[in-house]
Amino acid sequence: MVAAAEASGCVNMVGFNYIRTPASQYARQLVASGEIGEITWFRGEHTEDFYADPQSPATWRTSGMSNGTMGDLSPHMINGALALIGPIVRLIAEVETVHHDRPGGTVTNDDHAQMMCRFENGAMGQMYFSRISAGRKMGYAYEITGTKGALRFDQEDQNALWLYRLEGPNATRGFTKILTGPAHPDYEPFCQGPGHGTGYQDQIIIEAKDFLTAIETRKAVWPTFRDGMEVNRVVAAALASSETKSWQDVTAF
């Protein structure tokens, strides 16, 4: 698909929308501008609990690797990590099925996974993905540490971004809660009031807007098929790492 789209010049985009919230778009700007300095560490997760109950019946979600946690949830946070920090060069991962049998059938894919990684820019990384994280409903969350500050975000409070600056008197240092508003990317079309917030459906609208813009301008828009393929390579490396219990070079996939 990547080769065909690039050879033909066809407009293409992959539907990663969580990274399109005004807060996460602003986080990308802060990282890219050097606001928190050189990035040294990243922690990301995509955790939900829709299969935390072992008595939840088997469905299409419990068969086929593409429907497991590594195929369903992990790509969103991996895409977010690549967007915020940059390429991943190597990783080690564990992928696991916790509930092997459910009412109505045997589970043939994974429930949760953990991964350590090293980014191309030298930053360390950790990620966790789960569909059995009791209490988590939309746990798309990340923390970024740099030499001049840090960022925190949690999709369950998607209109807030927490920023720490390593400056000023120690007595006044702390994370500042930034509420998204018209000054942040793609917020103003929904509401002119800061702090009033956007919802899940709005990030889908932003995604649709981006793709319609791509069609109008006849230019592919991020993330393209190639960007999606970079996510696939990380997933493939993680699955291979879990099977071989070894570090994997992502560029080999």
Sequence spans of domains, the chain: 2-244
pTM equals 0.96
Considering the segment(s) 2-244 as one domain, its CATH architecture is 2-Layer Sandwich (3.30)
Ordered per-residue pLDDT tens for the chain, 253 residues:
999 999 999 999 999 999 999 999 999 999 999 999 999 999 999 999 999 999 999 999 999 999 999 999 999 999 999 999 999 999 999 999 999 999 999 999 999 999 999 999 999 999 999 999 999 999 999 999 999 999 999 999 999 999 999 999 999 999 999 999 999 999 999 999 999 999 999 999 999 999 999 999 999 999 999 999 999 999 999 999 999 999 999 999 9
Assign 80 to helix, strand or coil: helix
Strands (E) in the chain, as ranges, are 39-47, 88-96, 101-102, 105-106, 112-119, 124-130, 139-146, 149-154, 160-165, 176-179, 248-249
